[in-house]
Structure 1
């Protein structure tokens, strides 16, 4: 058995015989095959070579990289699909965005971008010639170079290949409200085993053939992951077909290891799929068809590591898991491996593919589209080129009147719902704003949206259904992964949106937000990547008002997770009332290149600030509420009561009122924090406060009792470098949750007003002796609370009926 799989064109100048039933004539087949061979050659070169890119001299160890990093196994399949996409794009004048799911298929996508010229246009120092090819090879997985996966640095990409499972949901997000766009998505059979990808097949039930584009999935079955077979590749074809048809697809199977035959079959399959997509869209857009179509897809079976070494050291490689990464690992030290690598590279006959200066020959580029139709040049893959300002209405139309602080209640997210509905109405024609959420839009009090749009739905409807609409722009599916992926794809292609979720279950997409933050951080440093609309989270149904669902629904830790990420990208806001929520929402919806997290309640909350006050307070990010404190007269406070979050704010103000009544001589300052990053030093976050500003607000030496929405240690982590950190005492959630009354939740976690007063007595020097009676009274109320709720099932009247009277 030969060391290297011989390419069928091993005799120079020979032409593979076209299939009698295939759509390609001999010249088309020869040119497509030349492009595929060139892409394969470039993929291998990136993994191995740091010099001698055109093999103008015998390969020597000095030409090989000292560290061999990259993934060959998936690359020939990706190159094959890319080659055939070029063909149909050019022939049919299509606008196509490509999403490459196999995680580390970077060599293939970079190779094709270099071949179509977009790489050299983006990075002029990597020209489309021999010198540029040398730079292309050397930079791959090399210090100071580019990653081994498809990343923001790769022209034409919107999908980070570092984590598997999200390619198809990104593809559908890109297709929504893009009626002229085809999104071709290669799904690796390894990633097809993930939960998010398995759910993504259901996106066909949300794709509107009239207003949306189309997605063409290509399920690439090469049989193996890193070390194990893949599930779908081992299913009998009839079982796999039944599965995919059950998902709502019409699968076409292409399989084989003879390149000429596979070229013909894949060309025929793509032609069929595109004809079928065109027919679906014509019937919906012109004939008014409303039935849910079976969208076409391709199942492509080719060997893993196809055209690479068949055997290495007596072990089978091509068509096995051994081809996953670097098939020949000892090239610098093993002469036999070096010989095999040279035979492998020369099997593509680079002299036929590139001229003496290293430029691709005309046959190689014959199938490549022109201009922005090249996959690497699609403006949809650089969404900032397409994004428009969001038409946000004046906040005065939606703000609540605040005649007397702390006396009137509103549901903040219901107020926000009116603003979002106005944005949805203002974008009705341009269709570039969507709201995603896992079956919770109405539960989260955002149902005003249904006055302007429905919930996207293409499946069966019943008379009892409400608000379902084929052209709806509210998207609900009980998969946080799909909501996140749809929104990412939507934003990355130049649109706007909001993700609304129960606070506790935002953790389901922890890993996805990691990847998006990394993408944004990298993209911000690439001058050719234009800023896109921010990814905005609204976390509601939060920990303090999940008293009816109980412990399973109580977790405020998503904020901690996000604030661990790149400070240049992440922002976290905790507005204390309806008007501050409106002001924060207006800000984040206008912003670019951030991940913004807003935590706000949906239950009735006191109104504290007028709209003008809310705007000023949000601009500061943190500030003293002079009307709530008692310091006055220019004197330093004896204690600072700080708060962040709606429920902690209410408890803090109730504690301030108790102190005002019982200890009127005590100078109390009340500080509210909206922007959590303000607590960081200025050198650690763009929103951070300089030390002098922090000390002026919180004092450098007075006790600070901080009532915080989430886990207390986050505040300590943010503030540990401050001069007053030793005097900082934080109350927050400490995993004491259950189904109980709203006030009992704060009592269980020692965040209640009475505990805060006790903390003041305990921590203000000299106060413990003078206010011992007050401390005991506060403890007694807490004990009375425990007995009351067990007898009456409701909170104490003085708590339930409390209003601000300061």
Structure 2
């Protein structure tokens, strides 16, 4: 489809009749009145008596500025739904726009269905008002408690990527995404405009971005509202959109313009889909519509307060009239609320008049009742091949070398194949799918790509199910939207750079936690991370790529949400991946290396080990029937290698040393059961780690995390954790462990130091180990690789 000039709907013929306009005005006034009431009122909800200070809230919280625009857009989307019988999912991008979304869902009746005590009458209105931004109530942004929402509006930047995630594999859905002009200044939102290069008009739904320009953020103008019209149009056309402009402050004219804009946007969407689905696009990239709505901030609110400009200015961003005990502020609020003429909108019982209610669609066609906004209703379990058939044939520990993520990729390929007909599984990565050794999935599907393709391109196709864009934010947003609308996915990422989405992880974790307390929210598929290219094998990229701190971030989340897995080899990786893809309502983090490494467990042993989450490796232990001198524990693939090498080395020097070897796959097993549902009871923990023996723990991440997880355990004082100490550079793989004292030699020295009866050996062991470390440094500086005894080490 060829590029088009922007469309200005103000010049179009009138779409709405006089009767339509009158009804639209009534609905919009009702929604605006209900929105203002949520911010200000505790009682006297319909102003049956003169407004008094005691009718208002002691703390005025909420955001008015964006709300009338959201109400306006919701109304016009309802018109489109009723006219076309189209399924539309609404995403409110502007921060803290909940007064409008909640008001609209209440007018549609859905709110009262989900929350029966918030009835559609005066009593219900009073409860609706009180609960807003009030202790024990609801937040000031759309949240898991908001019917029709999949988007946590507490942080800006992610609405458009969520919208596209919801549209992927939803061919009959249009996602209307309202983007605030403050939000439009964020990096994640700016990148999200490129999502249209990944949207297949044949198999996916459509996204209708609605850029709402009201001119101001908290106290500053917004960039897109201040650039020239031609520049804004060129920007949006450059993003691959046909902009449709709606502008003004006269409600009658803007209603007409918006009706025309919605009709034109829907016509363009249908035209693109019909042409693509009939095979007529011949590889051309669609040019989708975007509506640009420019209306005053705080539209219909007070023009001035205390002689200062309010409507159409930043002062209307939050609470336009504050400190109601001051001067005429209470009178200003009353005049403002009465300007909506509530006596014309609600009957004696406080129920909205029937002509207003009739503007809402019916049943699931209501945006507030969309099944897509409660994705657990639509979720179908993945068909998962038997992972045990994909493992490596490990006949003896530490002899076979394999690439764990490459093994996983073969299973993921068949997961993809098994679910292609259901179109409910995607693999996402910021340009790292092949780098992370997941190449095999491309045997089942291509990379999604709608933009220009050349005959020498590698695995690019419109219907591809591998999503790659060099933006961690966008991958995360796409996957969240996909999961929240009932599907499944896996996000693979370099360990150091998954931190980019830390804040998004916060928001999603909070959504999951809140949704567990909302009875009508159904569980969704878990958000699964494969963290690879990790700290211990980023020796070639250097210090910039070395950071395992994402584990700390996820461990901070509630125990009911967070899961962290550190499989030491390919077979345990398969076990954990299968469990994660079956899970619901959690954040699952799997850390696994992609480089060739020794393999430890056969499949049956791996299944048994992963089912416990941690356990003694008896083939690496020699304390059976005796009290160990020390426990050597580990979590992570490289720490496991170094811990086993330390055990072997120490036995060579001190044959009678008694060591117990414990490997941890499920990190949260270290916590108590009351801290985490996976936590081990004290008696089992003490049986494994003893109550008084030194525990030398080789850990993948920062040592403080293990100490934080086990601080309540009886033997916590005897845990000595080796892990990442923020030391790194471009060096050899083994030298990375040496720099951070995670290597076998430092582990041996620590064991000898902590076991009193080994004191007689300490000087000789320390001397031998120090010599090895000196030889190591000399060798790598001379040859640029690790010593053969390190490179070629095996367990025997």
Same topology, TM > 0.5: yes
Q: TM-score, normalised by structure 2?
A: 0.98
Deviations 1:705-746 (A, max 9, x none): 100011111111111221212211111111111111111111
- 1:775 is displaced (CA, Å) by 2.2
Aligned to 1:754: 745
Contact 2:12–2:260 at 8 Å: present in 1 too?
no
- 1:367 is displaced (CA, Å) by 1.8
Aligned to 1:584: 576
Task: Identify which of 362, 372, 375 aligns with 1:383.
Answer: 375
Deviations 1:464-504 (A, max 9, x none): 21000110000000000000000000000000000000000
Task: Identify which of 37, 60, 67 aligns with 1:45.
Answer: 37
Contact 1:31–1:366 at 8 Å: present in 2 too?
no
Counterpart mapping for 1:439-588 below 5 A: 439-588=431-580
Aligned to 1:87: 79
Task: Identify which of 99, 124, 138 aligns with 2:130.
Answer: 138
Task: Identify which of 663, 667, 678 aligns with 1:676.
Answer: 667
Give the Cα–Cα distance (whole angstroms) in 1 for the partners of residues 771 and 14 of structure 2: 87
Aligned to 2:284: 291
Deviations 1:52-94 (A, max 9, x none): 1111111111110111100000000000000001110011101
SS of the residue corresponding to residue 513 of structure 2 reads helix
Contact 2:753–2:762 at 8 Å: present in 1 too?
no
Contact 1:789–1:795 at 8 Å: present in 2 too?
yes
Give the Cα–Cα distance (whole angstroms) in 2 for the partners of residues 587 and 428 of structure 1: 20
- 1:644 is displaced (CA, Å) by 0.3
Give the Cα–Cα distance (whole angstroms) in 1 for the partners of residues 669 and 761 of structure 2: 35
Contact 1:630–1:660 at 8 Å: present in 2 too?
no
Give the Cα–Cα distance (whole angstroms) in 2 for the partners of residues 463 and 84 of structure 1: 44
Contact 2:372–2:485 at 8 Å: present in 1 too?
yes
Aligned to 1:5: none
Counterpart mapping for 1:762-801 below 5 A: 762-801=753-792
Aligned to 1:640: 631
Counterpart mapping for 1:99-498 below 5 A: 99-289=91-281, 290-331=283-324, 333-334=325-326, 336-498=328-490
Structure 1 residue 706 corresponds to structure 2 residue 697: yes
Contact 1:75–1:108 at 8 Å: present in 2 too?
yes
- 1:19 is displaced (CA, Å) by 9.5
Deviations 1:733-775 (A, max 9, x none): 1111111111111111111111111111111013122342122
SS of the residue corresponding to residue 340 of structure 2 reads coil
SS of the residue corresponding to residue 251 of structure 1 reads strand
Moved more, 793-802 or 413-422: 793-802
Task: Mark the CA change 1:240 to 1:19 in structure 2 (over 3 Å): closer, same or farther.
Answer: closer
Give the Cα–Cα distance (whole angstroms) in 1 for the partners of residues 774 and 692 of structure 2: 33
> Structure 1: 5+ residue runs without aligned partners?
1-17
Contact 2:483–2:524 at 8 Å: present in 1 too?
yes
Give the Cα–Cα distance (whole angstroms) in 1 for the partners of residues 286 and 721 of structure 2: 56
Structure 1 residue 687 corresponds to structure 2 residue 678: yes
SS of the residue corresponding to residue 697 of structure 2 reads strand
Count of residue pairs brought into register by the alignment: 786
Contact 1:19–1:261 at 8 Å: present in 2 too?
no
Aligned to 2:735: 744
- 1:335 is displaced (CA, Å) by 5.3
Q: TM-score, normalised by structure 1?
A: 0.97
- 1:29 is displaced (CA, Å) by 1.2
Contact 1:755–1:779 at 8 Å: present in 2 too?
no
* Structure 1 outlier segments of 4+, above 6 Å: none
Task: Identify which of 578, 587, 590 aligns with 1:595.
Answer: 587
Give the Cα–Cα distance (whole angstroms) in 1 for the partners of residues 241 and 154 of structure 2: 27
SS of the residue corresponding to residue 531 of structure 2 reads strand
Give the Cα–Cα distance (whole angstroms) in 2 for the partners of residues 483 and 611 of structure 1: 32
Give the Cα–Cα distance (whole angstroms) in 2 for the partners of residues 326 and 756 of structure 1: 60
SS of the residue corresponding to residue 751 of structure 1 reads coil
Give the Cα–Cα distance (whole angstroms) in 2 for the partners of residues 770 and 180 of structure 1: 73
Structure 1 residue 728 corresponds to structure 2 residue 719: yes
Aligned to 1:717: 708
Contact 2:12–2:257 at 8 Å: present in 1 too?
no
Give the Cα–Cα distance (whole angstroms) in 2 for the partners of residues 108 and 29 of structure 1: 20
Give the Cα–Cα distance (whole angstroms) in 1 for the partners of residues 782 and 559 of structure 2: 49
Give the Cα–Cα distance (whole angstroms) in 2 for the partners of residues 675 and 417 of structure 1: 21
Aligned to 2:3: none
- 1:288 is displaced (CA, Å) by 3.3
SS of the residue corresponding to residue 627 of structure 1 reads helix
Deviations 1:355-393 (A, max 9, x none): 111111122123210000101000000000000011000
Contact 1:86–1:368 at 8 Å: present in 2 too?
yes
SS of the residue corresponding to residue 766 of structure 1 reads helix
Contact 2:779–2:785 at 8 Å: present in 1 too?
yes
Give the Cα–Cα distance (whole angstroms) in 1 for the partners of residues 42 and 619 of structure 2: 68
SS of the residue corresponding to residue 707 of structure 1 reads strand
Contact 1:501–1:539 at 8 Å: present in 2 too?
yes
Aligned to 2:89: 97
Task: Mark the CA change 1:20 to 1:181 in structure 2 (over 3 Å): closer, same or farther.
Answer: closer
Contact 1:232–1:240 at 8 Å: present in 2 too?
yes
Contact 2:727–2:739 at 8 Å: present in 1 too?
yes
Deviations 1:533-571 (A, max 9, x none): 000000000000111111111110000111011111010
Task: Mark the CA change 1:20 to 1:672 in structure 2 (over 3 Å): closer, same or farther.
Answer: closer
Give the Cα–Cα distance (whole angstroms) in 2 for the partners of residues 281 and 30 of structure 1: 34
Deviations 1:342-363 (A, max 9, x none): 1111111111111111111122
